Amino acid sequence: MTQLLIQENNGNKQIALIEDGQLVEYYEEDNETIRREGNIYIGIVKDIIKGMQSAFVDIGTEKNSFIHLKDVLPKIDETKQKIDENIDIGKVLKTNQKILVQVKKDSNENKGARVSTHINLPSKYIVLMPNTDIITVSQKIEDKKEQERLIKLVKENLEDNNGAIIRTSAQGKEKELIEDIKFIQEKWNKIIQTSVDPNQNKPKLLYKSEDIVEKILIDLFDKKIEVKKGKNIFKEYDLDKQIEKLNNRKIWLKCGGFITIDKTEALTAIDVNTGKYTGKKDLEQTVYKVNKEATIEIAKQLRLRDIGGIIIIDYIDMNNQEDKVKIEQLLKQELKKDRTKTQVEGFTKLDLIEMTRKHICSHKE
């Protein structure tokens, strides 16, 4: 059973997603929260920074946003092609040029928002990617025949110069998928129509992204979700203690081991420790048991805390190569429960797992 609990007090909103009685996602919003991730703007190029192959773009916010060369050049499938980083950004962008951009990462105290010309417009069954011919399928759809069917169906119904990411919810769908493609393309065409104004020389918001609750309901529309609102609803579900633990650096495992989570601006480091657990047999089994429990907890915490970006996991050293393979496979399996995109790069030469996760909720400005 899936439940969405929304608790509001004095303009502050707390949102909890519950699956089978367990808290799996948690977000907070308040009156001062400004979230722009996903918004689409007509921006004005202000400064070209050739040394960084980047530019500052005015989208009408207090701080100018930042765009890199790779987010200006046409989108490519990076598994098959490479971006030519030697192209002079000054030949691609000009000062005072109008440019259609989407906010990919919100601003913070130190930096303006990061924007891109690569637009993603999410819907129930696909994420529309205008101005590209790339069509990809969610990694969670593993059946090859189903992948081929979906790609063929989407390709037949997309307008020219549109690509798409086919979402997991599209599995087994046909009529509903076609209708959804038409719906999201009409939405995009309306956005484009509002952007065509030769007399508009100022930044302009063209499309405002859904709020957190709307995003959850779109992503999980195929599930039966019970939505409940109230001032003290979290107490009814005994969530306060679980939420308090979300700020803890150290998380204890049932076996007696623990993990620590440390966030930096560049990445999130997760360390696994044996703690109080000494095991009953040999060292390798002890290490494997802790790493196994830690893996399940790490996947859970990434989703609970909505940790995004680069993530480095420092497991307890395993001498057995088979154990490493099992741990990596388990991590990938547990991450399938997450509703956002994750990518596990595997163990490095230093025996660290490298992975990335796209955060669901934009950061607070």
Q: Could you report the per-residue pLDDT of 161-179, keeping only the tens digit for each?
A: 999 999 999 999 999 999 9
Looking at residue 365, what is its pLDDT?
Answer: 35
pLDDT number for residue 281: 67
Q: Which residues, 6+ apart, have CB-to-CB distance to 276 below 8 Å?
A: 256, 257
pLDDT tens sequence across 88-125: 898 899 999 999 999 998 887 778 899 999 999 999 99
Q: Is the pTM of this model over 0.75?
A: yes
Q: 6 falls in which pLDDT band (50, 70, 90)?
A: very high
Which residues are registered as beta bridge partners of 137?
A: 166
Q: What percent of the chain has pLDDT over 70?
A: 95
pLDDT bin (cut points 50, 70, 90) of residue 237 is confident
Domain layout of the chain by residue ranges: 1-32+225-247, 36-118, 120-196, 249-357
Say what the pLDDT of residue 203 is.
Answer: 93
What's the CA dihedral at 146, 152, 156, 162 to 10 degrees?
A: 100
Domain 36-118: assigned CATH number: 2.40.50.140
pLDDT classification of 286: cutoffs 50, 70, 90 = confident
166 closest CA partner among 192, 130, 140: 140
The per-residue pLDDT of the chain, averaged, comes to 90
Query: Could you give the CA distance from residue 178 to residue 357 in angstroms, rounded to a whole number?
Result: 29
